[in-house]
Amino acid sequence: MSKTRTKPYHHGDLKAALVDGAVELIVARGVRHFSLAELSRRLGVTVAAPYRHFANRDELLAAVAVRALQAFGEALAAQSTETDPPGERLAAMAGGYVRFAAEQADLFGVLFGLGLDKKKRHPELREAYEDVEGTMAACVAELCPGDPDGAEQLTDAVEATAHGYAALLTDQPGPLDPADVDRAVEQAASATRALIDGRAAFRRSR
């Protein structure tokens, strides 16, 4: 949105082009086969050029992850219709979590399982992810009034469950069977409802 303020140097905002190109390449071929060298070739630039803008490969991937996280957050927020009761909204978000992971499997793969050091090296990623968690937590808060501790545990549980369906679904290479995706989305929503209904179990173990 807000780039190309002034026509930059040789290439013309190579930094942005690198991130854009990386997203394209990753979506096209998967994170696992992404290489800085191929990206450079595509942009008509030598393999050393990216290092003027990113300290290393992981830093570029972190920039891609920020993009992915943004799309992820939007996908989740889109599931949350204000009119629905909070439980259904939460279930829909869990489903949306899984659906995003399935439909944008490669971007999802940048967010997780890549071993990016979110805590120390890329705190902006951690923050962005906490925003996503916040969207869920807001929903849960309506369900557990006056029990912030239980709310947190329920939030974690819903997140873990959605993430588990998502991770197991996308662990396999190759294209996904749409029926599998739909089933996983449904199950994640159902499991969320079950967690809500059975949430008293969290109180028992404290």
Partner DNA sequence: TTTACTTTGTAAGAGGCGCTAACATCGCAA
Partner DNA sequence: TTGCGATGTTAGCGCCTCTTACAAAGTAAA
Is residue 5 a contact residue for DNA (CB under 7 A)? Answer: no
Q: Which is nearer to DNA, 27 or 49 (CB)?
A: 49
14 versus 61: smaller Cβ distance to its own copies: 61
Tell the smallest beta-carbon distance from residue 164 to its own copies (Å). 3
For its own copies, the binding residues in 112-141 under the rule CB under 8 A are 112-113, 115, 117-120
Dihedral (C-alpha) 22, 24, 26, 28: value to the nearest 10 degrees?
-150
Q: Is 190 in the site for DNA (CB under 7 A)?
A: no
116-138-190-204 Cα dihedral, nearest 10 degrees: 90
Rule CB under 8 A: choose which of 132, 137, 159, 181 binds its own copies.
159
The minimum distance between CB 39 and DNA, in angstroms, equals: 8
Taking the C-alpha atoms of residue 57 and residue 61, their distance in angstroms, rounded to an integer, is: 6
Within residues 39-78, the interface with DNA by CB under 7 A covers: 44-49, 51-53, 55-58
**Radius of gyration in angstroms for the set of CA atoms belonging to the chain, rounded to a whole number:** 19
Rounded to whole angstroms, what are the CA distances from 89 to 135, 139, 140?
11, 7, 9
- Cα gap 191→91, rounded to integer Å: 8
3-state secondary structure 51-93: HHCCCCHHHHHHHHHHHHHHHHHHHHHHCCCCCCCHHHHHHHH
CB of 13 to DNA, least distance (A): 8
161 binds its own copies (CB under 8 A): yes
- Least distance to DNA, CB of residue 120, Å: 16
Contact footprint for its own copies (CB under 8 A): 32, 112-113, 115, 117-120, 153, 156-157, 159-168, 171-174, 186-191, 193-202, 204-205
